[in-house]
Amino acid sequence: MLRFLPALTLLAMLGPVVAGLWGTLLPAFGHLPSAGLFGPSLDPFRSLFAWGGLTDAARLSVTTGLIATALSLGIVALIAASWSGTKAFRILERLLSPLLSVPHAAAAFGLAFLIAPSGWVSRLLSPALTGWDRPPDLLIVQDPLGLAMIAGLVVKEVPFLLLMTIAAIGQAQPRRSLLVAQSLGYGRVSGWLKTVFPRVYSQIRLPVYVVIAYSMSVVDVALILGPSTPPTLSVQIVKWMSDPDLSMRLTGAAAALFQLALVIGALCFWWLGERLVARLGNRWIMSGNRGLRDTSVRVLSLGLGSVSAFAVFFGLASLLIWSFAAFWSFPNVLPDGFTMRTWGKHGPNAFATFGETFFIAGVAVLLALMLVLGCLEAEHRSGRPLSRRGLWMLYLPLLVPQTAFLPGLQTLLLSVGADVGRIPVILAHLVFVLPYVFLSLGDPWRAWDTRNAIVAGALGARPWAVFWRVRAPMLLRPILIATAVGISVSVGQYLPTLLIGGGRVSTLTTEAVALASGGDRRAIGVYGLAQTLAALIPFALALIVPAFLWRNRRNLHE
Amino acid sequence: MNKSLTLQDVCILKDGVPLIEVNHTIQAGEVLTIMGPSGVGKSTLLSFITGTLPSAFLGTGQILLDSADITQKPPHARPIGILFQDDLLFPHMSVGANLAFGMPPGGSKTERRAKIDAGLRDVDLEGFADRDPATLSGGQKARVALMRMLLSNPRALLLDEAFSRLDADLRTQVRDLVFKTARERELPVLMVTHDAEDANAAGGKIIELRTLSKA
Amino acid sequence: MKYLALVAALAAPTFAFANPDPADWDAVTAEAKGQTVYWNAWGGSTTTNDFIAWVGDRVMEDYGVTLEHVKLTDTADAVTRVLSEKQAGEDDDGAIDMIWINGSNFAAMKEADLLFGPFAEQLPNWAVVDSEGKTVQTDFTVPVEGYESPWAMAQVVFVHNTATMPDSLGSMDALLEWAQANPGRFSYPQPPDFLGTTFLKQALVDILDDPSVLQEEATDENYGEVTAPLWAYLDALTPHLWREGRAYPATGTAMFPLIADGELDLSISFSPGAASTAIANFELPDTVRTFVLDKGTIGNASFVAVPYNSGSAAGAMVVANFLMSPEAQARAQDPNVLGYGTVLNMDALTADDRAAFDALELGIATLSPAELGSVQAEPHPSWMTRIADDWAERYGAGQ
* Chain-chain contact of A339 with C74 (C-beta, under 8 angstroms): no
Q: What integer pLDDT is reported at residue A504 of this predicted model?
A: 74
Residue A474 has pLDDT above 80, yes or no: yes
Do A398 and A464 fall within a single domain?
A: yes
Q: How far apart are CA A440 and CA A429, in angstroms?
A: 17
Q: Which chains touch C (3 or more CB pairs under 8 A)?
A: A
Do A395 and A317 fall within a single domain?
A: no
Do A266 and A374 fall within a single domain?
A: no
User: Residues B119-156: pLDDT tens digits?
Assistant: 999 899 999 999 999 999 988 999 999 999 999 999 99
Residue A555 has pLDDT above 90, yes or no: no
Residue A63 has pLDDT above 80, yes or no: yes
Q: Is A114 helix (H, G, I), strand (E, B) or coil?
A: helix
DSSP conformation class of B206: E
Q: What integer pLDDT is reported at residue A558 of this predicted model?
A: 57
- CATH assignment of the domain containing A420: 1.10.3720.10
Question: Residue range C68-92: average pLDDT?
Answer: 81
- pLDDT tier at B83 (50, 70, 90 boundaries)? very high
Residue B1 in contact with partner chain A when CB distance is under 8 A:
no
Q: What integer pLDDT is reported at residue A259 of this predicted model?
A: 94
Q: Which residues does chain A have within 8 Å of residue B56's beta carbon, measured at their own beta carbons?
A: 383
Q: What integer pLDDT is reported at residue B214 of this predicted model?
A: 44
* Chain-chain contact of A341 with C397 (C-beta, under 8 angstroms): no
Which stretches of B76-167 are DSSP H helices? Answer: 95-102, 109-122, 138-151
Residue B31 in contact with partner chain A when CB distance is under 8 A:
no
Report which listed range, A2-11, A280-289, C175-184, is most confident.
Answer: C175-184
CB A416 within 8 A of CB A264: no
From residue C176, alpha-carbon distances to C14, C232, C391 in Å are 50, 11, 18
Residue B194 has pLDDT above 60, yes or no: yes
Residue A243 in contact with partner chain C when CB distance is under 8 A:
yes
* Chain-chain contact of C261 with A415 (C-beta, under 8 angstroms): no
Q: What integer pLDDT is reported at residue C165 of this predicted model?
A: 93
- 465-494 in chain A: CB under 8 A from chain B: 465, 469-470, 473-474, 476
Residue A52 in contact with partner chain C when CB distance is under 8 A:
yes
Q: What integer pLDDT is reported at residue B98 of this predicted model?
A: 93
User: Residues B18-70: pLDDT tens digits?
Assistant: 888 889 999 988 999 998 877 777 888 999 999 888 888 899 999 999 889 99
Q: What integer pLDDT is reported at residue C6 of this predicted model?
A: 36
* Chain-chain contact of C282 with A327 (C-beta, under 8 angstroms): yes
Mutation test of the interface with chain B: which of A454, A464, A470, A551, choosing the one with the most B Cβ atoms within 10 A?
A454
Q: Is C34 helix (H, G, I), strand (E, B) or coil?
A: coil
Residue C335 has pLDDT above 50, yes or no: yes
Do A22 and A128 fall within a single domain?
A: no
> Which of A295, A322, A349 delimits the end of a domain?
A322
> 2.60.40.790, 3.40.190.10, 3.40.50.300, 1.10.3720.10: which CATH number matches C2-151+302-366?
3.40.190.10
A36 → chain C, closest CA residue:
C87
Residue A438 has pLDDT above 80, yes or no: yes
* Chain-chain contact of C81 with A227 (C-beta, under 8 angstroms): no
* Chain-chain contact of A515 with C46 (C-beta, under 8 angstroms): yes
Q: How far apart are CA B183 and CA B189, in angstroms?
A: 9
Let me know if domain C157-298+375-396 sits in CATH 3.40.190.10.
Answer: yes
* Chain-chain contact of A458 with B149 (C-beta, under 8 angstroms): yes
Residue B176 in contact with partner chain A when CB distance is under 8 A:
no
Residue C10 has pLDDT above 80, yes or no: no
Residues of chain C with CATH 3.40.190.10: 2-151+302-366, 157-298+375-396
- 368-407 in chain A: CB under 8 A from chain B: 382-384
Backbone φ and ψ of C322, nearest 5°: -65, -35
Least confident of A143-157, B147-161, C10-24, C84-98: C10-24
Residue C398 has pLDDT above 80, yes or no: no
Q: How far apart are CA B149 and CA A455, in angstroms?
A: 9
Residue A137 in contact with partner chain C when CB distance is under 8 A:
yes
Residue C306 has pLDDT above 50, yes or no: yes
Q: Is A36 helix (H, G, I), strand (E, B) or coil?
A: coil
CB A508 within 8 A of CB A353: yes
Q: Is C204 helix (H, G, I), strand (E, B) or coil?
A: helix
* Chain-chain contact of B52 with A453 (C-beta, under 8 angstroms): yes
Q: What integer pLDDT is reported at residue C369 of this predicted model?
A: 67
Nearest CA distance, A453 vs chain B (angstrom)? 9
**Between A279 and A3, residue with greater pLDDT:** A279
Q: Which residues does chain C have within 8 Å of residue A514's beta carbon, measured at their own beta carbons?
A: 43-44, 71-73
Do A412 and A516 fall within a single domain?
A: yes
- pLDDT tier at A141 (50, 70, 90 boundaries)? confident
Q: What integer pLDDT is reported at residue C150 of this predicted model?
A: 94
* Chain-chain contact of A134 with C397 (C-beta, under 8 angstroms): no
Residue C11 has pLDDT above 50, yes or no: no
Do A290 and A405 fall within a single domain?
A: no
Do A1 and A80 fall within a single domain?
A: no
Share of chain A above pLDDT 70, in %: 98
CB A189 within 8 A of CB A243: no
Q: Which residues does chain B have within 8 Å of residue A556's beta carbon, measured at their own beta carbons?
A: 91-92
Q: Which residues lie below 8 Å from residue A206, measured CB to CB, with a gap of 6+?
A: A391, A392, A395
Residue A189 has pLDDT above 60, yes or no: yes
**Between A491 and A93, residue with greater pLDDT:** A491
CB C252 within 8 A of CB C195: yes
Q: Which residues does chain A have within 8 Å of residue B14's beta carbon, measured at their own beta carbons?
A: none
- pLDDT tier at C126 (50, 70, 90 boundaries)? very high
Amino acid at A529: L
> What residues are paired with C161 via a beta bridge?
C288
Question: Residue range C87-96: average pLDDT?
Answer: 83
Q: Which residues does chain C have within 8 Å of residue A419's beta carbon, measured at their own beta carbons?
A: 95
Q: What integer pLDDT is reported at residue A515 of this predicted model?
A: 85
User: Residues A245-273: pLDDT tens digits?
Assistant: 777 888 999 999 999 999 999 999 999 99
Residue A518 has pLDDT above 90, yes or no: no
Instruction: Kindly provide the residue ranges of all beta strands, DSSP E only, lying in C285-387, ordered along the sequence.
Output: 288-291, 297-305, 375-376
* Chain-chain contact of B76 with A553 (C-beta, under 8 angstroms): no
Q: Is C25 exposed, middle or buried (0-12, 13-18, 19+ CB in 10 A)?
A: middle
Chains A and C touch (3+ CB pairs under 8 A): yes
Q: Which residues does chain A have within 8 Å of residue C250's beta carbon, measured at their own beta carbons?
A: 228, 516-519
Nearest CA distance, A372 vs chain B (angstrom)? 21
What are the structural domains, with CATH classification, of chain B? 4-79+154-208 (3.40.50.300)
Q: Which residues lie below 8 Å from residue A103, measured CB to CB, with a gap of 6+?
A: A488, A491, A492, A509, A531, A532, A535
Which stretches of A325-387 are DSSP H helices? Answer: 341-382
Residue C18 has pLDDT above 70, yes or no: no
Q: Which residues does chain A have within 8 Å of residue C89's beta carbon, measured at their own beta carbons?
A: 417
Do A377 and A316 fall within a single domain?
A: no
- pLDDT tier at B210 (50, 70, 90 boundaries)? low
Strand duo B4-14 + B205-208: pairing:
unpaired
Nearest CA distance, C87 vs chain A (angstrom)? 5
* Chain-chain contact of A520 with C46 (C-beta, under 8 angstroms): yes
Residue A239 has pLDDT above 90, yes or no: no
Do A97 and A209 fall within a single domain?
A: yes
Q: What integer pLDDT is reported at residue C13 of this predicted model?
A: 37
* Chain-chain contact of A457 with B51 (C-beta, under 8 angstroms): yes
Nearest CA distance, B85 vs chain A (angstrom)? 11
User: In this structure, is residue A329 part of a structural domain?
Assistant: no
Q: Give the number of domains in chain A.
A: 2
Q: What integer pLDDT is reported at residue B212 of this predicted model?
A: 54
Question: Residue range A376-405: average pLDDT?
Answer: 85
Q: What angle do CA A371, A375, A378 make, to 5 degrees?
A: 135
Do A543 and A433 fall within a single domain?
A: yes
User: In this structure, is residue A37 part of a structural domain?
Assistant: no
Residue B149 in contact with partner chain A when CB distance is under 8 A:
yes
Question: Residue range C341-360: average pLDDT?
Answer: 87
Q: Which residues does chain C have within 8 Å of residue A510's beta carbon, measured at their own beta carbons?
A: 71
For chain A, what is the mean pLDDT?
A: 88
Q: What's the whole-model pTM score? A: 0.84
Question: Residue range A396-414: average pLDDT?
Answer: 87
Domain carrying residue A66: 51-230+259-322
CB C34 within 8 A of CB C60: no
